[in-house]
Structure 1
Amino acid sequence: MSDDMFLGVHLRTWLEAAVVLVVTALGYLALRAWTQRRAAHIAEAPPDAGVWSLRHWIDHLLAASLGQWAFLLWIYGPYVAISLLLADAAASGAQVAPAIQALVWLRDLTTIAALWWLLARIGRVVERRLTGMAGRSDNRWDDLALPVAGRAVRLALPLMAVILYAPLLEVSSNLQVVFSRVVTILLIGTVAAIVLQLVNQLSTLILARYRIDASDNLQARAVHTQVTVLKKVAVAAIVVFTAASMLMVFDSVRHFGTSILASAGVAGVILGFAAQRSIATLVAGFQIAVTQPIRIDDVVIVEGEWGRVEEITLTYVVVRIWDLRRLVLPVTYFIEKPFQNWTRASADRLGSVYIWVDYTFPVEEGRDALKRIIEGNPLWDGSFWNLQVSDATERTIQLRVLATAKDSSTEWDLRCDIRERFLAFIRDRHPASLPRVRADLPRVQMAGAPV
């Protein structure tokens, strides 16, 4: 039987190849049965049962990656079987070298694809499990560390397939150099993505502790401003450093960078003069983050407009005007020019209302009426109010009403409400005390009238 041949291959070799395929099929069926049994066990267990045990993680990862393991199994099973056939044919004098080379290339490419798919699947499962564990934990640091670790695993694991298997590829030295540079660039990009995720998650965790919609939000606004600007600085630095690191992978770029080091002083001076406005803007943005002349949600008066600081970047500031327009100003504006910041020290405001009445108006009665108006108003913060005669002209007297509110928006509504209700009180109770013009006309003797 050993001398019998079929298609140039001994029957014994055909039998060996068939045994390899049968073993591959049996291995797949055993792996599938074991995985399904473990998946059923996982489904019956509580969600938090043994989340930190090694066997728990292995069960979950194998149950989620059955298709990927089966793909790898069916790559190497047929590869071994076909290799046996081709080796036997080559021993018999057949010209099968191109077929063997093609088979090796096919094995290498499918192996990289299968490993990438497998590790990407494992990374997604790990990320989902860690994110779920962070959601069930009461520790704030778990909310930061576990999701970032999950994303890092999801990004890094597929890259490991290329890093580990690329050196084993049977390719020329030039292609090895290309693969090495591509892997290095991917590794740099992956590390940068992980660091960006860490910066973003850390800023989110910090900002979640300071609610800017609270009534007393002075500290929250300060933290939001610092974190927002510093996050933008960190992101810009990471992007620039990543781009520079990727470019330095290429020898031509590295040699170019080395050659210009000798003229770096002159080039720095030239670039400094050419980009001094841009550099000054970036420095001003960083200065605002540190000194904080303005903060997120501050109430400011700029260019004669009342508005709130909506966004602060490294180069410009967006102010939301009261009528929902947006005023965009360079950050240097708030360093070089004067402006009003109504919430620099605190958010509460002291509002004033001016009303002109006649000299006959009873001020004490008006003060009693104003007490009922203000103290029954939900917009008043309960801190302070008063009524004073602040001015007098030849025709009227001026009443000034002062009242406090928790913030500028509430203060505006409170002033309008006080003005409306106090004017209604004067109109209904003392209409004769509204401003009027007096005239003293001399009496004229009419002809023929009795004296």
Structure 2
Amino acid sequence: MKEEFAHFLTHFPGFVATLGILLLGVVMGLVARFVISTVLQTYNRRANSELITSIQRHLRPASGWFFPALAVSLLLPLVQLPPQPFEVLRRLVEMALITTFAWGLVKLTDVVEDEVLRRYEINTTDNLRVRKLFTQLQFIKKLVMSLIVFVAVGLVLMSFETVRRLGTGLLTSAGIASVIVGFAAQRSISNLLAGFQIAFTQPIRIDDVLVVEGEWGRVEEITFTYVVLSIWDERRLVLPLNYFIEKPFQNWTRNSSQILGTVLLQTDYTVPVEAVRTELQRIVAASPLWDRRVCVLHVTDSKERTLELRALVSAANASDVWELRCAVREQLVGFLQREFPGCLPRIRAVVEIPAPALSAALGTPA
């Protein structure tokens, strides 16, 4: 016990000096961060740059840890400790530096995304080019973030001798391991490859309007393994990426957001088609949802009891055409009820009554 206490007293000045150096490094890092932040704020007040605002918002937490870790790592050679404590301290500082640097790189992808969002507005009528870019950007961002995290974790683990020896041993059996992993993860790998195919061939894009499994909705998110479809009633339909490679689906905004909508009416054979056509043109012309491309009325079928009229109208996007269809249907039905009530669907029947029964019912001689 006395020998251990004497050993501690012998190295006590070294521990005190180490603590001082560490505190000095932390202070230097915080000062450097403060200076850089002040310079950026001063420039931002003059230039009002959205890029600087995005950098400060996303990188402020990571920089608060990275700069102290960097300063401590620079001052680490000045530390005078026994070999074993020094090795522990070196590894801790190295792990902190790698982790905070990877954190900063991950947040830097958010800065790039903000800059793209600022330059390209997706909430426009004709946003096909922007949706192509956003679909690729989202996939590439997730891929880059995954690679950064993977490399950072690998660097941290490889700093330990035990892990390095384990890695060397695993490399000798890489052939067998690759076969096993290939069979076990073939669905995941196929989904990843499907993600690459979707990102660059783009059968679907962010904000595309799809009809899948009988559901109408917009593409909300595309990940490495699945697609999230936002249904019109605020539900979410989650589908694997392979679905969009292997199965058919409807894409209403593949080449353009413009779309046609139909309204079907069942009427009596006596309906004045030309009057209904004129009323359709009046209704559509008064609607701000119509994009002035298509407005026609056709007799598309003659059934046993009714005549089928089809109104075909156009709008700038799927949401507008839905509202326009509902308005046209409602007003055309109201027009027929008001102007031609006899032209609504009717059931005709011939009732044959024997002459004696008819005479008895009317109170007349047969």
Match for residue 318 of structure 1?
Answer: 228
Residue 309 and residue 136 in structure 1: after superposition, are their counterparts in 2 closer, same or farther (change >3 A)?
farther
1:123 CA drift (Å): 0.4
1:383 match: secondary structure: strand
**Residue 170 of structure 1: which of 74, 80, 96 is its match?**
80
Q: Is the 8 A contact 1:298 1:308 kept in 2?
A: yes
Greater length-normalized contact order (CA 8 Å, ≥ 6 residues apart): 2
**Residue 439 of structure 1: which of 349, 354, 364 is its match?**
349
Q: Is the 8 A contact 2:63 2:104 kept in 1?
A: no
Match for residue 295 of structure 2?
Answer: 385
Residue 309 and residue 135 in structure 1: after superposition, are their counterparts in 2 closer, same or farther (change >3 A)?
farther
Match for residue 113 of structure 1?
Answer: 23
Match for residue 106 of structure 2?
Answer: 196
2: distance between equivalents of 1:395 and 1:145?
A: 69
Q: Is the 8 A contact 2:70 2:97 kept in 1?
A: no
2:252 is the counterpart of 1:252: no
1:195-241: CA deviation from partner (whole Å, max 9, x where unpaired) = 22322211221132222221112122211111111111111111111
Match for residue 239 of structure 1?
Answer: 149
1:382 match: secondary structure: strand
2:43 is the counterpart of 1:133: yes
1:226 match: secondary structure: helix
Match for residue 263 of structure 1?
Answer: 173
Residue 101 and residue 264 in structure 1: after superposition, are their counterparts in 2 closer, same or farther (change >3 A)?
closer
1: distance between equivalents of 2:45 and 2:22?
A: 34
Q: Percent identity?
A: 43
1:55-95: CA deviation from partner (whole Å, max 9, x where unpaired) = xxxxxxxxxxxxxxxxxxxxxxxxxxxxxxxxxxxxxxxxx
Instruction: List gaps (5 residues or longer) in structure 2.
Output: 1-5
Further displaced range: 200-209 or 294-303: 200-209
Give TM-score, length-normalised by structure 2: 0.87
1:423 CA drift (Å): 0.6
**Counterpart residue type for residue 259 of structure 1:** G
Match for residue 428 of structure 1?
Answer: 338
Alignment length, in residue pairs? Answer: 356
1:283 CA drift (Å): 1.6
**Residue 95 of structure 2: which of 162, 185, 188 is its match?**
185
2:233 is the counterpart of 1:327: no
**Residue 126 of structure 2: which of 216, 219, 233 is its match?**
216
> RMSD over aligned Cα, in angstroms?
2.9
Alignment of 1:354-373 (within 5 A): 354-373=264-283
1:374-409: CA deviation from partner (whole Å, max 9, x where unpaired) = 100111111111111111123221111000011111
1:243 CA drift (Å): 0.6
Match for residue 230 of structure 1?
Answer: 140
**Counterpart residue type for residue 406 of structure 1:** A
Match for residue 286 of structure 1?
Answer: 196
1:128 CA drift (Å): 4.3
2: distance between equivalents of 1:106 and 1:197?
A: 36
Instruction: List gaps (5 residues or longer) in structure 1.
Output: 1-95
Further displaced range: 368-377 or 153-162: 153-162
Q: Is the 8 A contact 2:40 2:52 kept in 1?
A: no
- Max radius of gyration: which structure? 1
**Counterpart residue type for residue 403 of structure 1:** V
1: distance between equivalents of 2:352 and 2:58?
A: 92
Give TM-score, length-normalised by structure 1: 0.72
2:310 match: secondary structure: strand
Q: Is the 8 A contact 1:225 1:296 kept in 2?
A: yes
Alignment of 1:336-351 (within 5 A): 336-351=246-261
2: distance between equivalents of 1:108 and 1:223?
A: 51
